[in-house]
């Protein structure tokens, strides 16, 4: 099947335009020096649609790349203005964004082990796969790095990382930042030029610190474990993507079990203290110094991370503010908002500004930023709504109203699914897909249960 959505190729066209690092607010008059390069990761700024009425364009089920009775890893989904791409077992399929018709198919050597969530302005992204089908986790051979063009399905290059042989899928990841694909595995890390595949740098087990996690996008931030395996010193480091050298280092407090990179601009780290759930979020300044600490208060404020690199969902951030949804209230309360979205000041760690209350029985969840607005989902029992929230005024503007089916399952839970709203279209997919086994009659039950949903403007 397929994975996430992202970006496009024209700066002012269709239902969105773009922001990239250093472009300011996206106003006209940008100098040539500030124009995006093919390797830059950009963010779509959505335009108000002519009508908020949406319709189901396509629902997709696991294809033949996943045999009956098999559950496959299908991380990664990508979108540009014209194309939506998603993995399906051992292949990636590209679909026309407007009508979901198949556009291309990229055969992979094996099942995907990890995928970058980012797409560059030039349409490039990267994945890590098995050497051949069936080698992970039995033989744990996730060692093939592949870059491809989301618009055309063309494989740009493929590299085998011999040192990564033996790395299980859950201990490996890949991200994209400033024209490089950065890969980390159990014993090391490496980076490759995204356009050519040329190796930029590598670190191995002999290094003092081991990069165990990356956050990509506008900047490259690594989570490094230093010293003893059993009691490591955990550090966050901003890396130069071209050299791998640290530009600053932040030492994480002792006792933290897990650290996730939520954002690299601003730098936001999710911390797990004592269990698998994210308990706190740390904001760092441009020099890697502690800016603020935001406590999630035992789940009062929601964000969901993992497993895997860059798998945190349910938040949106600007350079100054982090937006989170609160825990849902009583499901039977017909008079009170189901929850609300609040903004945390990254300089103080305190709530500030407008609050965005949900409606009764219809909780809100943030998806991402769109310029200075928050893109959020409101979820009713049989209807979903995509909103643009204005922190300056508190206004909640409807961008899309779309139908929800009875068999959608976790697809409409944006804390669990890969949910992308790009260029006026909504893409929902799963990162694990199962094709049910055949019954005694040779039939595949629940074969029509969707694992991908695509919504667009009603025509």
CATH number at residue 131: 2.130.10.10
Q: Cβ–Cβ contacts within 10 Å for residue 142, how many?
A: 31
Is residue 76 one of the residues assigned to a domain? Answer: yes
Strand partners, 389: 374, 396
Is residue 433 one of the residues assigned to a domain? Answer: yes
Domain with 293 in it: 12-437+447-457
Note the Cα 102 to chain centre separation in Å: 23
Q: Splitting the chain (459 residues) into consecutive groups of 10 residues, what average pLDDT does each group show?
A: 32 48 46 69 91 94 77 91 92 96 96 94 95 65 94 98 81 94 93 98 82 96 88 94 97 91 98 85 98 96 90 97 94 88 98 96 97 96 95 98 79 91 95 81 76 92
**Total domains, the chain:** 1
**How many Å apart are CA 244 and CA 33, to the nearest integer?**
24
pLDDT of residue 156: 98
3-class secondary-structure state, position 331? coil
- Per the document, the length of the chain is 459
Question: What is the phi-psi region of residue 114: left when phi exceeds 0, alpha when psi lies from -120 to 50, beta otherwise?
Answer: beta
Asked if 113 contacts 172 with a C-beta cutoff of 8 angstroms, the reply is yes
Is residue 300 one of the residues assigned to a domain? Answer: yes
| Burial class of 163 by CB neighbour count within 10 A (0 to 12, 13 to 18, 19+) | middle
pLDDT of residue 21: 55
pLDDT of residue 437: 80
Is residue 442 one of the residues assigned to a domain? Answer: no
**How many Å apart are CA 370 and CA 418, to the nearest integer?**
18
Q: Cβ–Cβ contacts within 10 Å for residue 205, how many?
A: 9
**How many Å apart are CA 315 and CA 406, to the nearest integer?**
26
Is residue 6 one of the residues assigned to a domain? Answer: no
Strand partners, 432: 73
Is residue 2 one of the residues assigned to a domain? Answer: no
E strand map for 380-431:
383-389, 396-403, 418-422, 425-429
What are the tokens at 386?
Answer: 């995509």
**How many Å apart are CA 191 and CA 437, to the nearest integer?**
39
Is residue 3 one of the residues assigned to a domain? Answer: no
pLDDT of residue 18: 56
Asked if 79 contacts 57 with a C-beta cutoff of 8 angstroms, the reply is no
Q: Cβ–Cβ contacts within 10 Å for residue 335, how many?
A: 6
């Amino acid at each position: 099947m397929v994975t996430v959505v992202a970006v496009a190729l024209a700066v002012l066209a269709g239902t969105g335009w773009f922001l990239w690092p250093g472009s300011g607010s996206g106003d006209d008059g940008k100098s040539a020096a500030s124009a995006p390069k093919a390797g830059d990761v950009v963010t779509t700024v959505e335009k108000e649609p002519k009508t908020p009425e949406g319709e189901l364009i396509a629902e997709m089920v696991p294809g033949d790349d996943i045999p009956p009775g098999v559950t496959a890893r299908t991380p990664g989904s990508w979108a540009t203005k014209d194309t939506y791409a998603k993995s399906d077992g051992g292949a990636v399929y590209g679909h026309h964004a407007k009508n979901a018709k198949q556009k291309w198919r990229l055969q992979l050597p094996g099942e995907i082990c990890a995928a970058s969530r980012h797409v560059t302005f030039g349409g490039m992204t990267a994945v890590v796969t098995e050497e051949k089908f069936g080698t992970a986790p039995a033989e744990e051979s996730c060692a093939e790095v592949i870059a491809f063009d989301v618009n055309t399905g063309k494989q740009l290059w493929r590299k085998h990382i011999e040192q990564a042989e033996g790395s299980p899928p859950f201990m490996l990841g890949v991200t994209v930042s400033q024209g490089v694909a950065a890969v980390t595995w159990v014993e090391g890390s490496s980076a490759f030029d995204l356009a050519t595949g040329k190796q930029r740098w590598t670190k191995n087990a002999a290094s003092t610190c081991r990069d165990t996690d990356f956050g990509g996008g506008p900047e490259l931030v690594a989570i490094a474990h230093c010293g003893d395996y059993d009691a490591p010193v955990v550090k966050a480091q901003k890396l130069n993507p071209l050299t791998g050298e640290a530009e600053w280092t932040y030492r994480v407090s002792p006792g933290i079990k897990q650290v996730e990179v939520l954002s690299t601009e601003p730098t936001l780290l999710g911390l797990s203290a004592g269990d698998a759930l994210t308990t706190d979020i740390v904001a760092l300044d441009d020099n890697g110094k502690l800016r603020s600490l935001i406590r999630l208060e035992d789940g009062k404020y929601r964000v969901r991370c993992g497993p895997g690199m860059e798998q945190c969902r349910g938040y949106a951030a600007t350079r100054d503010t982090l937006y989170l949804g609160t825990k849902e209230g009583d499901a039977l309360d017909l008079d009170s908002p189901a929850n609300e979205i609040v903004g945390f000041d990254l300089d103080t760690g305190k709530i500030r500004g407008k609050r965005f209350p949900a409606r009764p029985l219809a909780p809100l969840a943030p998806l991402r930023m769109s310029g200075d607005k928050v893109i959020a989902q409101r979820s009713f029992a049989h209807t979903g709504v995509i909103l643009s929230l204005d922190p300056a005024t508190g206004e909640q503007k409807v961008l899309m109203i779309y139908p929800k089916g009875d068999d959608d399952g976790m697809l409409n839970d944006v804390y669990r699914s890969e949910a992308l709203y790009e260029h006026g279209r909504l893409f929902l997919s799963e990162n694990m897909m199962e094709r049910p086994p055949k019954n005694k009659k040779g039939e595949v039950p629940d074969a029509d249960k969707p694992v991908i949903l695509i919504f667009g403007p009603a025509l």
